[in-house]
A and B are shown apart, each in its own frame.
Chain A
Amino acid sequence: MHGTAKPYTGLQLGALVTLRLLIGWHFFYEGLAKLVNPYWTSAEYIDQASWLFSGVFKSIAASPGAVTFVDALNVWGLMAIGLGLIVGLLTRAATASGLVVLLLYYIVAPPFVALAYAMPTEGSYLVVNKVLIEAAAMFVLLVFPTGRLVGLDGLVFRKRQAGDAPAPAQA
């Protein structure tokens, strides 16, 4: 992954894995909470879209079929990404998907000057909000991966490499 030398110091690895676990926890619970809430729907959030692709978002919100699909994708996607980050399984895919999801959330309702939203926020935001910060944190995790160092990816990819090709397989 990062050459034969240890890619990170112990402290660096600890910091990155902590970040990964926290974001994973957040994603997993967001998905689970939505799963068990019969009233939850993404429709209201999507419907407030007023920036890029707002027409597409709004028509999704207006279509019961599309909303059902997007809701399911959200619930299971969030849970899968969260689980992946926590246990370190398919970490790279989970990180990349999480980044895409967060950016989509951001695009739907960016706190730009002159855009107003019906749904209240719990803080004060100008351009930068917590979604964007979490996306940036996710980007850090994408650039500094830890799944194979701490996580099931260490077993999965090691096993495959062990089976496929002679060592040294890591690169």
Chain B
Amino acid sequence: MTDEQKTTGTPGSEHWSTISRRGWVKALISIPVLGVFFYNYFRKRAADEAKRQAVMSELGVAESGPAIIANAVSQPPSRRIRVGIIGYGGEGESLVRHAGFAAPDWIEQARKNVAENPRDKQLETYLGQDDLNIALTAVCDVFDVRAERAIAASRIDVRPGGGGANPPAKRYRRYTDLLESGDVDAVIIATPDHWHSRMTVDAANAGIHVYCEKCMTRTEDEAHAVHRAVKDTGIVFQLGHQNRQSEAHNKAREVIAANILGPITLVESTTNRNSPWGAWVWDIHEQGNPQTIDWDQFEGPAPNKVPFSLERFFRWRCWFDYGTGLSGDLLSHEYDGVNQILQLGIPASCVASGGIYYFKDGRDVPDTFQAVYEYPDRDLTFVYSATLANGRDRGLVFMGHDASMQVGGSLSVQADYESTRYEQKIKDGLIDPSQAMFTYRPGFKGIDAVTSATERYFASRGLLYTYRGGRRMSAYHLLIAEWLDVIRNGGETSCNVDRGFEEAITCHMATRSYREHRRVTWDPATRRIV
């Protein structure tokens, strides 16, 4: 400062001219550094941009911006729809909640959770749902405790979109009474799989719209019956595959449409869970007993009648009498996701194998299960590989000659080292096969809390929630909203009965192959598994 003091003019003078040349130099000497900075910065920007443009123009797909998804509720919900629930177990409760009716004890627990862990978003997501303008008017469950909970949910006053409380739903002991009551326009069917077909057919014949949980049916014959009934009656049918609403899945369709991967020869899908809950060892309710559970009605169309069993009632997925194990529960999701992205349809053949290797608890469905499907007309193999005793995340991968695409909650595309299409760009250093050349991360910028291992599994598959305009939305809610929208305004549900038929047949091919220890094929002429 001494230099400046020497040259400072009269006290009070504010003239810049009084500053010495040396003073100016010292004040401004670092400014050129900014010039160097920006010179380098813009060079880098230009290089990066040229690289990106070269890749993007080649790919023909937008890097950012949401995949084009029709808004699930395209028009204001005008007409109030009366909905019945058949089967208010874990999944049924979840669906009803995502339709806007949470059970009071769920609300209480969610409040506690959020008080303990501010990252817990369950309550916020529930309250942030759109009010779908429906009333839950009818309930059918063979277990008294669950039926009462469903009724309590139907009159809940903590509702999304500030919707007020409704009158309580009426309980029906038999689903046929519910369908004939005149109290419902539409039903959600979330019973074990062995009931899906009969209930859907009866509902369709009564002109009642159906949202049915996967797997669409337990057997091949039932799949035909459901398909026929829905087609004949023209009811609106939605199968419960939430992936249909996932942003990443819809973006994956764009990537496929742009043929970024080149010829796809192998699609690998997987399930990896490692907890009793994930292996369907669900809680046995303390109040469950022959007095509170209508066992005869639970068994219904099950092929083998057995004495009352709490295990079979509460953990029904472990037996072929009520479902198809991994096939109908999780292969169905994986297949539908792949079918959504590739429009594969029914495979030509299937070989499946596996066994009960870890959960030797009396179940008869395998806990380790692999199915290999051939699509000769598409020149590709679809592989499903699952274990319920290891949690390693193997994801869902589409393997093309030019690139691989991994799809889950997000999406990434990685060029192949030996790609023909990208050969020059790889040589030129424009594409680096060791890194994703294209990633798509839907969602708001932030971290979501998922609480259980099974939830994490579903979240990683985009089955729990997805995003619309950066807002976290339940994929269940969006799928139900779409179903209601089609009931009101016409159109086509994203997982309609044709997709459901493909899903059911594909799963049943694996089940048949596993149980009959042989390769099965699909005869498109007779539309039968042979």
A: which residues have CB within 8 A of B?
Answer: 1, 4-6, 17, 21, 24-25, 28-29, 32, 36, 38-39, 41, 43-44, 47, 58-59, 61-64, 67-68, 71, 83, 86-88, 148-155, 158-159, 162-163, 165-168, 170
Contacts and interface: CB of A to CB of B under 8 A. Distances in A.
Nearest to B24: A155
A59 to B, nearest CB: 4
A21 B30 CA distance: 8
Contacts of A43: 445-447
The 5 closest A-B pairs by CB, nearest first: A62-B119, A166-B11, A41-B445, A59-B118, A154-B27
B8 interface: yes
Q: Quick one: which of B13, B30, B444, B448 has the most chain A CB within 10 A?
A: B30
10 contacts: A58-B118, A61-B446, A62-B118, A62-B447, A88-B27, A158-B19, A159-B16, A162-B9, A162-B13, A168-B5
Contact of B30 (A64, A68, A151): A151
A171 to B, nearest CB: 10
A43 B445 CA distance: 7
Given A63-B118, A67-B446, A5 B2 contact: yes
Interface string B350-363: 00000000000000
B26 interface: yes
A90 to B, nearest CB: 14
A81 B524 CA distance: 69
B33 A86 contact: yes
Nearest to A164: B12
B70 interface: no
A137 B23 CA distance: 27
A23 B9 CA distance: 35
Given A158-B23, A162-B11, A71 B1 contact: no
Given A21-B33, A154-B4, 16 more contacts: A5-B2, A6-B2, A25-B33, A61-B119, A62-B121, A67-B444, A86-B34, A154-B27, A155-B23, A155-B24, A162-B11, A162-B13, A162-B14, A163-B12, A167-B8, A168-B5
Nearest to A41: B445
A6 B41 CA distance: 36
Nearest to B29: A150
Contacts of A67: 444-446
B411 to A, nearest CB: 13
Nearest to A2: B1
Given A39-B441, A63-B446, A159-B14, A150 B30 contact: yes
Contact of B31 (A28, A39, A87, A168): A87
B23 to A, nearest CB: 7
A8 B476 CA distance: 68
A167 B13 CA distance: 11
B1 A149 contact: yes
Q: Quick one: which of B445, B448, B470 has the most chain A CB within 10 A?
A: B445
Q: Quick one: which of A1, A47, A165, A167 has the most chain B CB within 10 A?
A: A167
Contact of B14 (A4, A64, A163): A163
Contacts of A1: 1
A159 B26 CA distance: 15
B445 A154 contact: no
Contact of B5 (A29, A150, A163, A167): A167
B282 interface: no
B64 interface: yes
A41 B446 CA distance: 7
B119 A59 contact: yes
B41 A58 contact: no
Contacts of B16: 159
Contacts of B69: none
A149 B447 contact: no
A87 B34 contact: yes
A114 to B, nearest CB: 22
A15 to B, nearest CB: 14
B257 interface: no
B19 A71 contact: no
Contacts of A87: 30-31, 34
Q: Quick one: which of B4, B29, B446 has the most chain A CB within 10 A?
A: B446
A71 B447 CA distance: 13
Q: Quick one: which of B12, B447, B470 has the most chain A CB within 10 A?
A: B447
Contacts of B28: 152
A47 B5 contact: no
Given A32-B41, A158-B19, A71 B12 contact: no
Contacts of A159: 14, 16
B456 to A, nearest CB: 14
A4 B447 CA distance: 55
A17 B118 CA distance: 45
A165 B24 CA distance: 21
Nearest to A25: B37
A119 to B, nearest CB: 12
Contacts of B37: 25, 28-29, 86
Nearest to A38: B64
B27 A167 contact: no
Q: Quick one: which of B13, B34, B470 has the most chain A CB within 10 A?
A: B34
A64 B447 contact: no
Interface string B212-255: 00000000000000000000000000000000000000000000
B50 interface: no
